[in-house]
Chains A and B, each alone.
Chain A
């Protein structure tokens, strides 16, 4: 029996190694700060593992190549940051409508636009959910450490394969560049999910007909002669561009397969929530400041707790709704001008107050800043 290995990795290496451990064998990307480290590491490692690395001419080409590679049968990933992710949006929609598994590692920097390329941000939360046109769903996962970068990118690949959906691994400049201890479990302990393949003869196969929410996926060369299109299509994959029934069925399907299974994707760290009166909601790097702030508050006998979202989308609406029966004060700390805050506010249905603690300037909240906000909310009682 092999033993776990202890590594000293930054978040970027952890993402890359985690992806390889999950079975990723195709990477297409375009250089962008602060996400280039992942691409560079994949260029080094993928050929060693028998995979393919290609640096494309832009981010649009990168995600198009990913979709092609996924239909070629590979587990595929790219890495990018806000501006590159914006360029990818049309094809995020193509991946969603064609139900193509792939993973986008999005290393957030301060925006908008070119913004502050070397400094941290968390302003892309809504873009990961609403960036492409039309109705669709994605899964978005956010790590707070190199260890989680390794563990959760494996989960990201598994969810992509399981639900046939683009998964966005929403990390940030701090987590990506931070070096920490990472425990890598032995290979046989890592669970890598493979996409469901059809087991019926080609003439009976319906490439977009779900069985328990998900249709088995026949990739190129399997003999199923599948037609895949970004047009509104029926269960056979054929374009149906004027049928209201097919459009309703298809849109409901690509959304509901995620919405219905939200509780299975839910991944939340709760800290000191057992008797909390004030809940700090955070994700990514801010989760760590928030935890320190909760500890400070507890030392001062303020009943504060932390809710750290590791899965951001689909948003755990019902979790917050029931929590709001007991907790009347939420603070959402995020490095933007209010994004997850809107979701928390929507989910608590007016049963609790939700305050935003934004952060500007390309930096992470200091624990003391969050602690001061906790005190302010407490005293506003």
Chain B
């Protein structure tokens, strides 16, 4: 087989004129992007009917690299933007890809309410335990005790368990993977994209530049090795039992997969019922 080194199988889904990307060597975001593109490739999703919405931060840049209608919004507001887009244009498949700080700190309120309403969108939340773009500050998912630039003595805040939050708020699909689980992640994204309602996938991603090097994993491979040695797949487990703590096992898998009427269907139903002839 001839290998053309200037081509990548996923190139057709990228805005080639925007590459190279801005991410650091060893960053997990390339794997997330690749898994997402392979998922839409395998599902043969019509790119004209796909919209990707991001907030701000390293993950927030994903939207700009995908060759589809893509929206890079304000910090924390990707989900309400996506909510408006999906409601105004129901034929679009709308995916939010953003980071832990964007989705769960500044945008946390929007996440829980979109899940509660069961808005028909997929949210891929990339959790690298810190604010990478701004230089490695602590975030809502930074494990207790971890060192960041704003927790120089170790983090004294309790972190969110994102999957537990998503489940408690009403998401119909909840899964967690690390970037080591590239194929399982891709399969999970495929499931989420086919799911009606608010689906959420947490992806734990390496950030050697601003998180790893302050937490005894200065090399991306250290983090990948850690995922390999400490990840345990437990499908169907109560997400409440899947907390993330330093040095402990990382529980991954598909935790929630249920059916529930969506807000979008309810809106359409309402229109049918009260529409003036």
Interface residues of A (CB under 8 A from B): 25-26, 28, 47-52, 54, 56-58, 60-62, 64-74, 76, 90-91, 94, 219-231, 238-239
Contacts and interface: CB of A to CB of B under 8 A. Distances in A.
Interface residues of B, number: 44
A295 to B, nearest CB: 43
Nearest to B106: A60
B89 A73 contact: yes
B80 A227 contact: no
A225 B88 contact: no
Contact of A26 (B88, B92, B271): B88
Nearest to B67: A225
Given A73-B89, A225-B48, A68 B18 contact: no
A219 B91 CA distance: 13
A228 B49 CA distance: 16
B231 interface: no
Given A64-B74, A73-B89, A231-B72, A28 B64 contact: no
A285 B69 CA distance: 43
Contacts of B15: 227
B25 interface: no
B84 A65 contact: yes
A238 B71 CA distance: 11
Contacts of B18: 238
Contacts, number: 147
Contacts of A73: 88-89
Nearest to B54: A229
A66 B82 CA distance: 10
Choose among B70, B81, B91 the residue with the greatest number of A CB atoms under 10 Å from its CB: B81
Given A225-B68, A228-B70, A68 B82 contact: yes
B270 interface: yes
Q: Is the interface of A mostly helix, strand, loop or mixed?
A: mixed
Contacts of A222: 48
B73 A221 contact: no
B53 interface: yes
Contact of B77 (A74, A91, A238): A91
B84 A72 contact: yes
Interface of B: 15, 17-18, 47-49, 51, 53, 63-64, 67-74, 76-77, 79-89, 91-92, 109-110, 113, 263, 267, 270-271, 273-276
Q: Which 6 A-B pairs have the closest CB atoms?
A: A68-B84, A72-B88, A65-B84, A72-B89, A69-B84, A69-B88
Contacts of A48: 274-276
B273 to A, nearest CB: 8
Contacts of B71: 68, 71, 227-229
Given A90-B74, A227-B70, A68 B275 contact: no
A239 B48 CA distance: 22
B74 A94 contact: yes
B85 A220 contact: yes
Contacts of A60: 76-77, 80
A26 B87 contact: yes
Contacts of A25: 88
Given A68-B53, A91-B77, A239 B64 contact: yes
Contacts of A72: 84-89, 92
A28 B82 CA distance: 13
B222 to A, nearest CB: 31
Contacts of A94: 73-74
Contact of A47 (B73, B74, B85, B274): B274
A50 B271 contact: yes
Nearest to B63: A227
A64 B87 contact: no
Given A52-B267, A62-B80, A68-B80, 15 more contacts: A28-B84, A51-B271, A52-B88, A56-B80, A57-B113, A60-B76, A64-B77, A66-B84, A68-B86, A71-B71, A72-B85, A94-B73, A220-B85, A225-B68, A227-B70
A288 B113 CA distance: 43
Contacts of A227: 15, 63-64, 70-72
A221 B48 contact: yes
A76 B80 CA distance: 14
